[in-house]
Structure 1
Amino acid sequence: MKKIIPVLSSILALSLMLPSISSANVGINEKFGLPIVVYGGNLSEAEKESVAKSLDVAGEADVEEIEVTGQDLITYIKDGDSRANMYSSAKITRKDAGEGLVIQIVTPDNITQVTTEMYANAMLTAGIEDASVEVAAPKAVTGHSALVGIYKAYEVNGEELDPERTDVANDELTVATELADSGVEDAKVSELLTEIKKQIAEQNPATREEVEKIVEDQLTKLQIELSPEDRKLLTDLMDRIRKLDIDFSKWSTQLEDLSKTIEDKIGTIVNDEGFWQSVKSFFQKLADSVRGWFN
């Protein structure tokens, strides 16, 4: 027993040393209300349970659970198909102004097309600026329906979204995945969309021709080749974004923050060689102690 005590002490010391990757559970946020979990309307009961586990619903102090169906597509997307299948799901927690967007796909093998950056870009276009979002699916799906679920969850949480912006945001997600399917790397697609939007925010173009020049300039800068059809698709999207009722004076800063948020949160730990060395040393000592029990 005496030999076990030092090991337990070491484990306690490690728990104090490890940085907290996720925020401690401090109970219900009375300012913004409960986290909202929105399930795809076509999930079976077993699939819903799988998603709830992936989104750690049981780990919340309290949570509101809702469902998104094809009918919701009509609310947020002009040409939405009410018969659409909805499987991808999400948990959204509103944050204070200035905290930005933090997106995590907790079942990366099952969200096959949409990346965290694509979600974040589309959410910003839709008018969602400060939130933590986790996306999950119980089987391989593209991930598009999660965005509609995020819209619904956000409005259940007390906000109102402009349907024109949510419709454009859906177009943006569609364009992003189509460009990726055409052979452009996912990261390059997100970089392209972000850079074009930043230039729209900074230059405030007044005509489609000016938008087209911004698109062409960024394609050249990032050395991305697109077919004439995809160039038109991209220009049409960005011209719609230009016409939105957006405060472009602060949009540029939000887009800058968008590209850094995930890197900053992960890089702090991943790049800390001293931290990982201390973890390695701890487990070496733990192994030595365990071996000592049997000697």
Structure 2
Amino acid sequence: MKKYLVGFIFVLMILSPIYAATGFAITYGETTYGNSNWKNSMDTYFQTKTTKNVSDAATKVVTASEVNAISSNITGKTYPASQIYSCAMVDLSYNKGINVSVDTSKITVVTPKMYENALKSTGISNGYVVVSSPVSASGEAALAGVLRSYEIAVGTPIPDQAKKAATQELYTETQIANQTGQNPDQISNLFSNVTDQIQAQNITDTNQILVIVNNVAATMNINLTQDQAQQIANSLADSQNAQASLTDFKKQLQNVSNQASQSGGILDQIMSFVQGIINYVSNLISDSQVAHKF
């Protein structure tokens, strides 16, 4: 009987991690991945930001060609393979909205709020995100790595239309913040407030969005030129129009997020069940030994 029990417990121990979805992924810029010291420094940094073991994360290298395919027509920049530094970690077990942590000692332009806005544009409403780089970087190209991390964690691709819209939104935010001299988070809040209104009313018309942009900017005491307001309206219209392409991704994201957040509870139940069996068998053996003495 003990032999069968040991075998049963062994099977449970093998199966439990298979059925406990983690939704845990890390992406490395190809330049960083090609330098063992830089990669190790990123692993060390990510480990300080999570209680999970980073060696358990699914990983992917983000190449210059991937970044350029999405961003080059938007930013006008083409990155060589020697300049893809940024890395990202995503954990879907975090289920209290989006929590973005940016290593501000290395990422110099893009703020957590900017990443959060871009993620929401791709239908992402939850997850713990960490962004860093082994060297100083603006962080604009890092969005490709963040989105790739989500694709790996979820197991479903994000449509290119949504990726490009998110990239355009992030780039527009950084440009408007630079042009107006406003605090970057203030500009991010402007984008977020407008997005909340157009999503609540399901508005996709650029002219209607432009009216909302001007109204929200006035309320927030942000002075925009006509061209700046139009850029924001165009960007948010693209993001809104991309929502229809995200149905499958958002559905799978929700499923994996639920599994990831519940995985700890499932494992606890399995271990409790196993412990119950061990206690039961131990009692049987003890009773048998007592009976044998008599």
Other-structure match for 1:181? 178
From the superposition, tell whether residues 170 and 40 of structure 1 become closer, same or farther in structure 2 (CA, over 3 Å). same
The question of 1:143 aligning with 2:139 is answered: yes
Question: Alpha-carbon deviations, 1:243-263, whole Å to 9, x = none?
Answer: 223599xx9xxxxxxxxxxxx
State the alpha-carbon separation in 1 of the partners of residues 166 and 18 from structure 2. Answer: 28
From the superposition, tell whether residues 109 and 74 of structure 1 become closer, same or farther in structure 2 (CA, over 3 Å). closer
Question: Alpha-carbon deviations, 1:212-265, whole Å to 9, x = none?
Answer: 1011111111110123332221121122123223599xx9xxxxxxxxxxxxxx
Pick one of 63, 73, 76 that aligns with 1:79. Answer: 73
Other-structure match for 2:29? 40
Question: Alpha-carbon deviations, 1:16-35, whole Å to 9, x = none?
Answer: xxxxxxxxxxx969443362
Q: Which has the higher helix share?
A: 2
Q: Is contact 1:69-1:82 (8 Å) kept?
A: no
Question: Alpha-carbon deviations, 1:40-82, whole Å to 9, x = none?
Answer: 1112322222211111189633222321111222554573746
State the alpha-carbon separation in 2 of the partners of residues 32 and 78 from structure 1. Answer: 35
Q: Secondary structure at the residue paired with 2:100?
A: strand
Identity %: 22
Other-structure match for 1:7? none
Q: Secondary structure at the residue paired with 2:115?
A: helix
Other-structure match for 2:149? 153
Other-structure match for 2:47? 56
State the alpha-carbon separation in 2 of the partners of residues 112 and 237 from structure 1. Answer: 23
State the alpha-carbon separation in 1 of the partners of residues 18 and 51 from structure 2. Answer: 15
State the alpha-carbon separation in 2 of the partners of residues 241 and 66 from structure 1. Answer: 26
Q: Secondary structure at the residue paired with 2:90?
A: strand
> Which TM-score applies when normalising by structure 2?
0.67
State the alpha-carbon separation in 2 of the partners of residues 34 and 241 from structure 1. Answer: 25
Question: Alpha-carbon deviations, 1:163-207, whole Å to 9, x = none?
Answer: 111110000110111112121111211110100001101223353
Farther off after superposition, 125-134 or 192-201: 125-134
Q: Secondary structure at the residue paired with 2:107?
A: coil
> Which TM-score applies when normalising by structure 1?
0.67
Higher RCO (Cα < 8 Å, 6 or more apart): 2
Pick one of 72, 89, 92 that aligns with 1:91. Answer: 89
Pick one of 236, 239, 263 that aligns with 2:237. Answer: 239
Other-structure match for 1:128? 124
Find the structure with the greater CA-based Rg.
2
Farther off after superposition, 183-192 or 151-160: 151-160
Structure 1 unaligned blocks of 5 or more = 1-26, 252-295
Other-structure match for 2:289? none
The question of 1:118 aligning with 2:114 is answered: yes
State the alpha-carbon separation in 2 of the partners of residues 76 and 126 from structure 1. Answer: 14
Farther off after superposition, 166-175 or 74-83: 74-83
State the alpha-carbon separation in 2 of the partners of residues 101 and 38 from structure 1. Answer: 18
Q: CA RMSD in A?
A: 2.8
